C-alpha cells in the first residue's frame, strides 16, 4: 500500500483511481465492505483503489479531548488498511484551512483534477467540506459533469443492528470482546513502542512494558487479559530471532493509586524477563477482569495485582 502524505505529494503518477473518503476509525466491517467494493471497481476499471483520510480526525480537531474514544491511531489504522489490500492511502492534515475547504474543491480539484477519479464510493451517511455541507447528491451531480461515476454503500448490519464505530466503542466499553471481534473482523488491538516508566512494576515484582496511548481518549479502561505480539527470542538452532505470541495482563488508565496523570497502557508479560524497551508491540485484548481502582497504598495494590495475574492465568489455562 502506497501512503501519499499531503496534497503536495500527489503527483501526475497518481492520476486515475477509484476513490473513497472518510475517518475509517477502527476499519470495521462496514468500512471493509466499502473497501472491498472499491477494489472490485478498481480491478474492473484497471486503476488503483484510494482512500482519503485525515489526521487528526475532524471531530478531534473541533472538540479535542471531548470527542468519543478513538479506536485506532494512525499506525494501527495503516496496519489494518494494509491488510485489506488497499492500493493507496491519501493522508491529509486536518487544520483551520481544511475546516474551511468548500465541498466543491473536494469534488472538483481533489477527486477530479488531482486524483483523476474514475469512480467514487461513499457511505450512506457521508458528509464533507465546510460545515459538513457536502453530501452524496452533490458528489453525484458534480461527478456526472466531470466524468466520474458515484455510488453509495448502504448500512452493514450485524445481529440486526448497524455496524458503526460508535457501536464498536460501546461494545468494547461493555467488555464484550466476542462481539467487538465480530464487528471489526479481527481482535481489538493497540500498537506502540515500549517507553521508560517509573519502574514501579519492577519494584513490585511485576515488571511492565509501558506504551503511550497517543490518542485523546482510549476506547478501553481497566485491567485485561491480553496476548502480546512483537517479542522475539533467539532460537537455539539458527541463532535467529523468532517472534512469539505471549500471554499477559494489561492495565489501561491513569494509575490513581500512584498519582498517575497521563493515561497509559501497562503490560505484564507472563514468564518473560527480557528487555522490551523501544520494541514495537501489538497488544490484543481478550477479556476484561475489572475496572481501574484506587487502593489504600502500594501494598494493597500489590495484593490486587497478584489476584489479577492469578485470575488471568486461570482464564488462559481454561480458554479453548
Question: How far is Cα 45 from Cα 50, in angstroms, rounded to an integer?
Answer: 13
Domain-embedded: residue 95? yes
Collapsing DSSP to helix, strand or coil, 144 comes out as: helix
CATH number for the domain spanning 39: value is 3.40.50.620
pLDDT number for residue 234? 54
Residues 157 and 220 in one domain: no
pLDDT number for residue 214? 81
Residues 44 and 113 in one domain: yes
Average pLDDT, integer, range 89-93: 97
CB 302 within 8 Å of CB 200: no
Residue 237 has pLDDT above 80, yes or no: no
Residues 223 and 310 in one domain: yes
User: How does DSSP classify residue 101?
Assistant: -
Domain-embedded: residue 123? yes
Residues 9 and 158 in one domain: yes
Q: How confident is the model at residue 240 (pLDDT cuts 50, 70, 90)?
A: very low
Residues 21 and 150 in one domain: yes
Domain-embedded: residue 41? yes
Residues 152 and 194 in one domain: no
Average pLDDT, integer, range 257-270: 76
Residues 152 and 203 in one domain: no
Lowest mean pLDDT among 16-25, 47-56, 131-140, 228-237: 228-237
Domain-embedded: residue 110? yes
Residues 12 and 137 in one domain: yes
Question: How far is Cα 134 from Cα 130, in angstroms, rounded to an integer?
Answer: 8
Residues 6+ apart with CB under 8 A from 88: 1, 2, 3, 4, 14, 17, 48, 49, 50, 51
Question: How far is Cα 176 from Cα 57, in angstroms, rounded to an integer?
Answer: 26
pLDDT number for residue 200? 64
Single out the residue of 136, 21, 180 nearest to residue 90, CA to CA: 21
HEC sequence for 196-211: CCCCHHHHCCCCCEEE
Domain-embedded: residue 54? yes
pLDDT number for residue 39? 98
Number of domains in the chain: 2
Question: How far is Cα 253 from Cα 120, in angstroms, rounded to an integer?
Answer: 41
Find how far residue 46's CA is from the centre of its chain.
29
CATH number for the domain spanning 258: value is 2.40.30.30
Residues 22 and 153 in one domain: yes
Question: How far is Cα 255 from Cα 305, in angstroms, rounded to an integer?
Answer: 12
Q: How confident is the model at residue 162 (pLDDT cuts 50, 70, 90)?
A: very high
Which residue range is the domain that position 144 belongs to?
Answer: 2-162
Mean pLDDT for the chain overall: 90
Q: How confident is the model at residue 108 (pLDDT cuts 50, 70, 90)?
A: very high
Residue 239 has pLDDT above 60, yes or no: no
Domain-embedded: residue 292? yes
pLDDT tens per residue, range 169-214: 999 999 999 999 999 999 999 999 999 876 666 666 788 999 998 8
Residue where a domain terminates, one of 123, 146, 162: 162
Single out the residue of 272, 215, 279, 278 nearest to residue 248, CA to CA: 272
Residues 131 and 249 in one domain: no
Residues 76 and 130 in one domain: yes
Domain-embedded: residue 16? yes
Domain-embedded: residue 112? yes
Q: How confident is the model at residue 66 (pLDDT cuts 50, 70, 90)?
A: confident
pLDDT tens per residue, range 276-289: 989 999 999 999 99
Q: How far is CA 272 from CA 98, 258, 311, in A?
A: 47, 24, 18
Residues 116 and 74 in one domain: yes
Residue where a domain terminates, one of 162, 178, 200: 162
Amino acid at each position: 500500500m502506497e501512503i501519499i502524505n499531503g496534497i503536495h505529494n500527489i503527483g501526475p503518477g497518481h492520476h486515475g483511481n477509484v476513490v473513497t473518503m472518510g475517518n475509517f476509525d477502527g476499519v470495521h466491517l462496514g468500512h471493509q465492505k466499502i473497501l472491498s467494493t472499491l477494489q472490485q471497481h478498481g480491478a474492473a476499471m484497471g486503476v488503483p483503489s484510494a482512500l482519503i483520510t485525515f489526521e487528526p480526525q475532524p471531530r478531534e480537531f473541533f472538540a479535542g479531548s471531548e470527542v468519543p474514544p478513538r479506536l485506532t491511531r494512525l499506525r494501527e489504522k495503516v496496519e489494518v488498511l494494509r491488510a485489506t489490500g488497499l492500493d493507496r492511502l491519501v493522508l491529509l492534515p486536518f487544520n483551520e484551512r481544511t475546516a474551511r475547504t468548500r465541498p466543491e474543491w473536494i469534488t472538483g480539484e481533489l477527486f477530479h483534477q488531482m486524483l483523476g477519479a474514475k469512480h467514487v464510493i461513499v457511505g450512506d451517511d457521508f458528509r464533507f467540506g465546510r460545515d459538513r455541507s457536502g453530501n452524496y447528491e452533490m458528489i453525484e451531480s458534480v461527478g456526472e459533469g466531470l466524468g466520474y461515476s458515484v455510488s453509495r454503500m448502504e448500512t452493514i448490519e450485524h445481529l440486526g443492528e448497524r455496524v458503526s464505530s460508535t457501536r464498536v466503542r460501546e461494545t468494547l466499553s461493555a467488555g464484550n470482546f466476542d462481539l467487538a471481534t465480530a464487528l471489526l473482523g479481527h481482535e481489538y488491538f493497540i500498537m506502540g513502542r515500549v517507553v521508560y516508566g517509573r519502574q514501579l512494576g519492577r519494584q513490585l515484582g511485576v515488571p511492565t512494558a509501558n506504551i503511550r496511548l497517543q490518542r485523546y481518549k482510549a476506547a478501553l479502561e481497566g485491567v485485561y487479559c491480553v496476548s502480546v505480539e512483537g517479542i522475539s527470542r533467539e532460537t537455539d538452532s539458527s541463532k535467529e530471532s523468532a517472534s512469539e505470541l505471549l500471554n499477559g495482563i494489561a492495565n489501561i488508565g491513569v494509575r490513581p493509586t500512584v498519582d498517575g496523570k497521563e493515561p497509559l497502557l501497562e503490560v505484564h508479560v507472563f514468564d518473560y524477563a527480557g528487555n522490551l524497551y523501544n520494541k514495537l508491540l501489538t497488544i490484543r485484548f481478550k477479556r476484561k477482569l475489572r475496572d481501574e481502582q484506587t487502593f489504600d497504598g502500594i501494598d494493597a495494590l500489590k495484593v490486587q495485582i497478584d489476584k489479577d495475574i492469578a485470575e488471568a492465568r486461570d482464564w488462559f489455562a481454561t480458554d479453548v
